[in-house]
Structure 1
């Protein structure tokens, strides 16, 4: 057996699971990935098979270890970053899932939003929770389960119900079923935790009908959460401690080295998430969400966050339903083949519009089409729409906090396209930065695990990010940028008017 010298980072996301093996110098030795398939039992419902999540993570870890030629016994510790607001339900006694996981993309709780507006505590949600509950919120998912899922209702009645996100589920399914813990960033994201008082909001839980005892214990980001049991090629099982846990968007911030107030990152995944690090200050916000960023044991730090409703999901629609191209990476190639969108505006409101509109009735629309419009113009108009939506978010942050973001770090699959990054810089009027090494969330999980295990003592000891960065400077004139943005605003007005019937 060799001396323990590796750290394992897991990034369990909505489209797949990733595993990364780092050494003490921060060098990557192994990487594994497994896609994750959604289940759509009814229109608007999006679920996952809990067993498939475990299988995907297990296989990704095995692939990463094989590349690194390491044994589980070589691993010092593990950190887990996971998608937020995708919730799991299981039996505390058996450790077995009792229902499918409900994805944050699921829309079944939309009708509950009107009901919640009449609840006596509704006007306190943003102040206490950090955000106003939406259909993506685990709090509403769990309230729905407690009304409609017989297995969940029965487990709660018997005092055996456990609820949590995929990080907590992995601890149960791959480690110790008795360990029911998550870090503050994940607990808060579920929408039942008063992040200012740092306690569960019991009055809100009562209204939701969610039992407090079913929820995970909140802990700092670096802490002893439990263990994972990992198997080697000879089937020998090794216990690996889990010493860090974090939400995947916060992990993106950490992995991009966005650790100074005002540092900002945008991840273009299934949706596009914009996060701005605020340090130890948690401002009151009317429209932008306030989340724990990470908690390293002394005091919490915070970030501001907002997101588009969809981004990568639109590329799937363009490929699979509209059949505009065969491969996802073609969207950037098509966009680069034309100098502009020729007046085409794509408002990707497939599931509504988020801030600053918060309009659930808006629907996706392509405007400005002529007989000369091509699929390249549509592809470019879509990438431009991401820039417009991110600009709207950054403008609100500037208005409400006075904070001016001067550079934006980019991550996620869409950012692999140079043209997408350039279009973002052009529409924002600030440089965008893309790292050569893109698995920032998994890397952050591994680094945080190292902090939790004592491999490094503080942030200043952490190794620098691997690889180089590509900088994209704005090329569009201010005048043209404002013309484009004004046209976008007009298009949104049309889409919202259509949605109102």
Structure 2
């Protein structure tokens, strides 16, 4: 008899439900877009009931496409967006206001004010990352000060807060307890991944009620049940989206890494059972299996897919897909350098005041040169991130697995390989975020063990081997460094 595992991937722009069989093959897929609410400039929120409804509809669509019922599902795993905090009443289960998303900027003054406090210098090391305006802890602190209903529930001891993964179980099922896995709790910027505990001094300083927060649990754990098609389906795994993608792309040993290209791009690399000293990159307790933690480094390129859309919006191309066709018409960028810092620079510059620029324009420059310069900008940033990760963690990254929209371009992938000096691998199935949490839930249900997981990267994967020498890469990189130096500090950070 077939055994099926449900994976839920709840993201900032949409909710996915994917059903896998016991061979790790996709049998059903459902998707629902989710909207945002903009109460005033700089504020970005989401409605909790709308998020829950989108997940339920995606599950129903996946069931219908797979031709299975809820009773055929032996386990469910949930991965979700980070930093977007949902709040509800402990007794009624009703949401308390909208969720403030990671795109919201209202807490910027609070972030700046914390710099001069005794805990200010400790933030990055204790949390594994710097808690900027996007951070959950900042959202909760702001709501304690400005949201009367949120504060009243906290004072009455009935406030519960969590990320989307926790809210889904609350809204569509029955939680076993108020808990999240280590990675999701860390994504709420209240958890110390090295000491594997909540950072109490930080929570107290922000006046966040500790009782409202989830308790930390291993990645594979019985988190509760979802009520699906008349059946109670156990939720046996939870994990953050980027770390789920890392696990789902078969990256589980030190030095294995993946780049996911979406609106922004994220690079994640496995470090091992011990966290390295804190550097610029985020340090995540990515997952815990059988009592053994696995740490990973994460770094971001702030704008990739969003930059491609901007090139379309200003009329350089009619469709984003046209970038590939134009870039292929020229052998190189003709000396053009495009720095897509449209909302700042990520690792290693970490300069959110930087702004985008085009350098090297001349009368002979064509659309193809600019399109190719955009592809090259991804490769340059990738090279910088990989060099930073290897230096901070003392690991060697010789191969990079890629997924996401821009990874569909053979030309873009080859340019990334040429400029980074690392072989890129693109699997046939790049829906790795859902796959990761499905595998974890399947381990919890006894479908697989960590040693018998089905492989994703096989002979069907496409490999892009660097065609440039180290000397050639250095010549290209020198021009990129000149451009980066010119765009930094363009405007005061806010």
Alignment deviations for residues 418-446 of structure 1 (CA, whole Å, 9 cap, x no partner) = 12211211110111011110111111111
Question: Which residue matches 2:369?
Answer: 377
**Displacement, 1:16?**
1.7
Deviates more, 1:115-124 or 1:431-440: 115-124
Equivalent residue, structure 2, for 1:464: 455
Which of 419, 441, 454 is matched with 1:449 structurally? 441
CA distance in 2, matches of 1:377, 1:110: 38
- Return the offset for 1:277: 0.5
Alpha-carbon distance in 2 for matches of 1:323, 1:181: 48
Aligned counterpart for 2:396 among listed residues 395, 404, 411? 404
Distance in 1 (alpha carbons) for counterparts of 2:46 and 2:376: 31
Determine if the alignment matches structure 1 residue 152 to structure 2 residue 144.
no
1:188 to 176, 186, 189: 186
1:343 deviation in Å? 2.1
Shift of 1:178: 7.0
Alpha carbons 2:276, 2:392 under 8 Å: kept: no
- Once residues 186 and 495 of structure 1 are traced to their aligned partners in structure 2, the CA distance between those partners, rounded to angstroms, is 34
**Residue in structure 2 matched with residue 212 of structure 1 by the alignment:** 210
1:348 aligns with 2:340: yes
Give me the whole-angstrom Cα distance separating, in 1, the residues matched to 2:259 and 2:349: 20
**Residue 4 of structure 1, CA deviation:** 6.4
In structure 2, the residue corresponding to 1:135 is in which secondary structure?
coil
1:162 aligns with 2:160: yes
Match status 1:438 vs 2:436: no
Q: Summarize deviations over 1:58-96 as a string: whole Å, max 9, x none.
A: 222122111110011100010011111122222222222
TM-score (norm 2): 0.95
Within 5 Å, give how 1:278-357 maps onto structure 2: 278-319=271-312, 321-357=313-349
Query: What runs of 5+ residues in structure 2 fail to find an aligned partner?
Result: none
Partner Cα separation in structure 2 for residue 466 and residue 63 of structure 1:
28
**Contact 1:86–1:165 (CA<8 Å) still a contact in 2?**
yes
Q: C-alpha distance in 2, partners of 1:312/1:180?
A: 36
Task: Confirm or deny: 8 A CA contact 1:266 1:274 kept in the other structure.
Answer: yes
Matches of 2:399 and 2:457, distance apart in 1:
20
Distance 1:499 1:477, change over 3 A: farther
Q: CA deviation at 1:248?
A: 0.9
Q: Tell me the SS of whatever aligns to 1:498.
A: coil
Q: Which moved more, 1:353-362 or 1:326-335?
A: 326-335
Give the structure 2 partner of residue 483 of structure 1. 475
Residues 141-185 of structure 1, C-alpha deviations (whole Å, 9 max, x = no match) = 221222222222222222222211110111111112674221101
Q: Which residue of 2 aligns with 1:202?
A: 200
Q: 1:376 to 1:55 in 2, by over 3 A?
A: farther
Give 2:17's aligned residue.
19
Contact 1:172–1:179 (CA under 8 A) maintained in structure 2 = no
Q: CA deviation at 1:201?
A: 1.0
In 2, Cα distance between equivalents of 1:61 and 1:312? 27
Q: CA deviation at 1:130?
A: 1.2
1:5 aligns with 2:3: yes
Question: Are 1:413 and 2:436 matched, yes or no?
Answer: no
The question of whether the paired residues in 1 share the 8 Å contact of 2:175 and 2:223 is answered with no
Report which stretch shifted further, 481-490 or 173-182. 173-182
CA shift, 1:397, in A, is 1.9
Alpha-carbon contact 1:95-1:177 (below 8 Å) kept: no
For 1:64-75, list aligned pairs within 5 A.
Answer: 64-75=62-73
| Equivalent position SS for 1:257 | coil
Bigger mean CA deviation after superposition, 6-15 or 431-440:
6-15
Q: Name structure 1 gaps, 5 residues minimum.
A: 232-236
Q: CA distance change for structure 1 residues 203 and 367 in 2, over 3 Å: closer, same or farther?
A: same
1:117 aligned counterpart, secondary structure: helix
- Is 1:267 aligned with 2:260? yes
Determine helix, strand or coil for the equivalent of 1:314. helix
**Superposition CA RMSD, Å:** 1.9
Residue of structure 2 in register with 1:234 after alignment: none
* Aligned equivalent of 1:57: 55
Counterpart position of 2:78? 80
Give yes or no for contact 2:43–2:106 (8 Å, CA) kept in 1: yes
Shift of the 48–479 alpha-carbon distance from structure 1 to 2, 3 Å rule, reads: same
SS at match of 2:134: coil
Q: Deviations over 1:81-132 (max 9, x none)?
A: 1111122222222222222222222222223232111110122222221122
